[in-house]
């Protein structure tokens, strides 16, 4: 059996990823991300560019001192000053690496460096030689390699390998290449660089044309054995190749690539969310692998297929990246199968006729909303299928509250021809109102949950309160809306109590209140 090539994952989230506009991580945040990258089991963490600032130096040094497992790399331009700073920052790492670079494309040499090719070649060799005198593991990058003359690129690589480079990196610095060109470039370098078998071939692709992942994968096919990437594809301009996409492609299509990885994929989702939180850059919903919609299904046909056999529409499992399960999103495209599954997940047991009636109401609501929540489903079942008589009706509510006042509420509740007024104190205005309602109705129940959100926007937003109360193992949901959130809260609580009383007294009204409200255990 042929042994599979092992692909090394070089994560540069802390260096190139932090160069994303608007991102500025402090030392503690970089350490937290680095620790998670170690749990993810990446092979190399590029911790930063030490000469850039005292803060960057401190972060690289902290990562080098505290993080074990991966190689810890520091970036340096091809100058002694940069290399010295890089070495000072990573010298305490168990596996330190200095990563030095210089541009090799005609436009960069002429317009940015203002140096001849022979001068650039000399600087590259001198930098690698000096770095090698400090540390065993030295990586050299030919910046803008994708636009570099191939003959010159191979000449530079051969010279730096002879000078001691253990890794040579082929960057598509400006995201200009296509998969076919880039794969061919890697093959050319392998075939025409003397001593190339002594070094690891690495690639670093940017996403300006949306091809960073595709170019990186083409490079792997052509023989590259290290891929440089970032979590969530962060980086300069349009970003870098996304680690999660590269890793899951190589894992999912191992039949095609025939390579192995040491990455613990079950830490992918957690790492993605951590980086998103600390950088402040949200993950787009339709982002491959880690987006909110990556394992979400709304189409009725897709939902039906996934419920029957997951692999009909999922080529990888959510568990493989650290998610608990797929998500069935209920919307206007959903079908009865998914709707029935959602009812069962929420704990409702309905007969076919009731399911059909509820589904009709659901479709009507889905036409008005982008996404139907669990709370909406509960409202359909309990508010619309079960006609609950309003035994108790809120007449008025008054509260006195403040940061130096004990919250007090007075409520007046009507029940038929009788009117009951009650007052109570509580930990807050809502708690006081609920205690007053308990006194007025003489109903004792257990409040399980309370939530409040704005239905509309603006200062005059309509607030919707949702409560869940429990009685003898049964759960009852109440909703109330008002521009006054206290009134909305009182209405929601009274509605839940009305359902509770309705179920206790066994009103039928042509419905099955007990069956609908009884949770499946």
Half-sphere exposure of 503 (CA within 13 A, CB side): 23
DSSP per residue over 493-516, as a string?
HHHHHHHHHHHHHT--TTS-HHHH
By three-state DSSP, how is residue 261 classified?
coil
| CA–CA dist 336, 327 (Å, integer) | 16
Cα 362 from chain centre: 29
Torsion 230-233-234-239 (CA) sign = positive
Please check whether residues 26 and 117 belong to one and the same domain.
yes
Give the burial class of 7: count Cβ atoms within 10 A of its Cβ; 0-12 exposed, 13-18 middle, 19 or more buried. buried
Does any domain span residue 14?
A: yes
CATH number of the domain to which 485 belongs: 3.30.160.270
H/E stretch holding 60: helix 54-66
Q: What is the pTM of this model?
A: 0.67
Please check whether residues 419 and 499 belong to one and the same domain.
yes
Between the alpha carbon of residue 126 and those of residues 122, 145, 160, 395, the distances in Å are 6, 19, 9, 86
Does any domain span residue 70?
A: yes
Please check whether residues 263 and 115 belong to one and the same domain.
yes
Please check whether residues 323 and 376 belong to one and the same domain.
yes
For the stretch 454-501, pLDDT in tens is 754 555 555 778 888 888 877 787 777 677 889 989 988 998 898 888
Q: Total structural domains in the chain?
A: 3
| CA–CA dist 147, 181 (Å, integer) | 11
Please check whether residues 128 and 105 belong to one and the same domain.
yes
Please check whether residues 347 and 468 belong to one and the same domain.
no
By three-state DSSP, how is residue 433 classified?
helix
Give the structural domain span for 207. 5-279
Does any domain span residue 17?
A: yes
**Last residue of a domain, which of 363, 385, 407?**
385
Please check whether residues 142 and 250 belong to one and the same domain.
yes
Does any domain span residue 304?
A: yes
Q: Are 89 and 64 in contact (CB under 8 A)?
A: yes
Per-residue model confidence as pLDDT tens for the chain (521 residues)? 356 789 999 999 999 988 887 777 888 889 999 999 999 999 999 999 999 999 999 999 999 999 999 999 999 999 999 999 999 999 999 999 999 999 999 999 999 999 999 999 999 999 999 999 999 999 999 999 999 999 999 999 999 999 999 999 999 999 999 999 999 999 999 999 999 999 999 999 999 999 999 999 999 999 999 999 999 999 999 999 999 999 999 999 999 999 999 999 989 988 998 898 888 888 887 888 887 776 654 455 555 564 566 666 565 777 778 865 555 555 556 667 767 776 766 656 667 777 777 777 777 766 665 666 665 676 666 544 545 677 899 999 999 988 888 999 999 999 988 999 999 999 999 999 999 999 999 998 899 889 887 754 555 555 778 888 888 877 787 777 677 889 989 988 998 898 888 777 754 333 333 333 333 22
Please check whether residues 127 and 160 belong to one and the same domain.
yes
Does any domain span residue 290?
A: no
**Last residue of a domain, which of 247, 279, 311?**
279
Please check whether residues 487 and 511 belong to one and the same domain.
yes
Please check whether residues 169 and 47 belong to one and the same domain.
yes
Across 281-432, the runs of DSSP E, i.e. the strands, are 296-297, 327-328, 393-402, 405-415, 418-425
Does any domain span residue 286?
A: no
H/E stretch holding 228: strand 226-229
Please check whether residues 350 and 482 belong to one and the same domain.
no
| CA–CA dist 358, 379 (Å, integer) | 10
For the stretch 67-109, pLDDT in tens is 999 999 999 999 999 999 999 999 999 999 999 999 999 999 9
Helix, strand counts (H, E) of the chain: 18, 18
Pull the structure tokens for residue 132: 């090698």
DSSP label at 4?
P
Half-sphere exposure of 221 (CA within 13 A, CB side): 19
| CA–CA dist 397, 413 (Å, integer) | 9
**Last residue of a domain, which of 279, 314, 333?**
279
Unique residue bearing structure tokens 């509260």 = 399
Pull the structure tokens for residue 475: 């759960």
Rg (CA), the chain: 31
β-pairing, 200-205 with 167-172?
parallel
Does any domain span residue 284?
A: no
Does any domain span residue 291?
A: no
CATH number of the domain to which 112 belongs: 3.20.20.70
| CA–CA dist 356, 339 (Å, integer) | 10
Cα 371 from chain centre: 20
Please check whether residues 238 and 329 belong to one and the same domain.
no
């Amino acid at each position: 059996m042929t042994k599979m090539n092992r692909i090394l994952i070089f994560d540069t989230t802390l260096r190139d990823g932090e160069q994303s506009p608007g991102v500025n991580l402090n030392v503690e945040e970089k350490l937290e991300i680095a620790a998670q990258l170690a749990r993810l089991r990446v092979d190399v963490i590029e911790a930063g560019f030490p000469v850039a600032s005292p803060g960057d130096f401190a972060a690289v040094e902290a990562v080098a001192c505290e993080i074990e497992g991966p190689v810890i790399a520091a970036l340096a331009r091809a100058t002694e000053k940069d290399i010295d700073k890089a070495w000072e920052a990573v010298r305490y790492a168990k596996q330190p690496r200095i990563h030095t670079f210089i541009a090799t494309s005609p436009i960069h040499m002429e317009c940015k460096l203002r140096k001849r090719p022979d001068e650039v070649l000399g600087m590259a060799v001198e930098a690698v030689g000096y770095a090698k005198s400090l540390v065993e593991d030295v990586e050299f990058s030919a910046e803008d390699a994708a636009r570099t003359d191939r003959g010159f690129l191979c000449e530079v690589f051969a010279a730096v390998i002879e000078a001691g480079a253990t890794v040579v990196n082929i960057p598509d610095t400006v995201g200009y290449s296509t998969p076919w060109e880039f794969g061919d470039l890697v093959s050319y370098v392998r075939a025409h660089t003397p001593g190339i078998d002594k070094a690891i071939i690495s690639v670093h692709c940017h996403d300006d044309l949306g091809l960073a992942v595709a170019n990186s994968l083409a490079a792997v096919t052509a023989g590259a054995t290290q891929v440089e990437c970032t979590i969530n594809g962060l980086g300069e301009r349009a970003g870098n190749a996304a680690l999660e996409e590269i890793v899951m492609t190589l894992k999912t299509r191992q039949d095609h690539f025939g390579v192995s990885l040491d990455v613990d994929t079950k830490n992918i989702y957690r790492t993605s969310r951590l980086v998103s939180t600390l950088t402040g850059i949200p993950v787009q919903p339709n982002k491959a692998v880690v987006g909110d919609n990556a394992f979400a299904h709304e189409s009725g046909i897709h939902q039906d297929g996934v419920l029957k056999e997951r692999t009909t529409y999922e080529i990888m499992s959510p568990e493989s990246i650290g998610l608990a399960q797929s998500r069935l999103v209920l919307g206007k495209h959903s079908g009865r199968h998914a709707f029935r599954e959602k009812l069962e997940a929420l704990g409702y047991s309905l007969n076919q006729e009731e399911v059909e009636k509820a589904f009709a109401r659901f479709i009507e609501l889905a036409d008005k909303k982008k996404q139907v929540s669990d709370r909406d489903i509960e409202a359909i079942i309990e508010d619309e299928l079960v006609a609950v008589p309003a035994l108790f009706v809120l007449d008025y509510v008054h509260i006195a509250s403040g940061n130096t006042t004990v919250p007090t509420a007075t409520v007046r509740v009507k029940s038929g021809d009788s009117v009951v007024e009650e007052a109570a104190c509580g930990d807050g205005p809502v708690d006081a109102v609920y205690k007053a309602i308990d006194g007025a109705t003489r109903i004792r129940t257990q409040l399980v949950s309370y939530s409040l959100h704005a239905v509309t926007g603006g200062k005059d937003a309509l607030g919707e309160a949702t409560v869940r109360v429990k009685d003898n193992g049964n759960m009852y949901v109440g909703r109330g809306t008002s521009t006054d959130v206290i009134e909305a809260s009182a209405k929601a609580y009274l509605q839940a109590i009305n359902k509770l009383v309705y179920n206790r007294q066994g009103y039928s009204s042509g419905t099955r209140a007990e069956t609908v409200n009884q949770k499946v255990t």
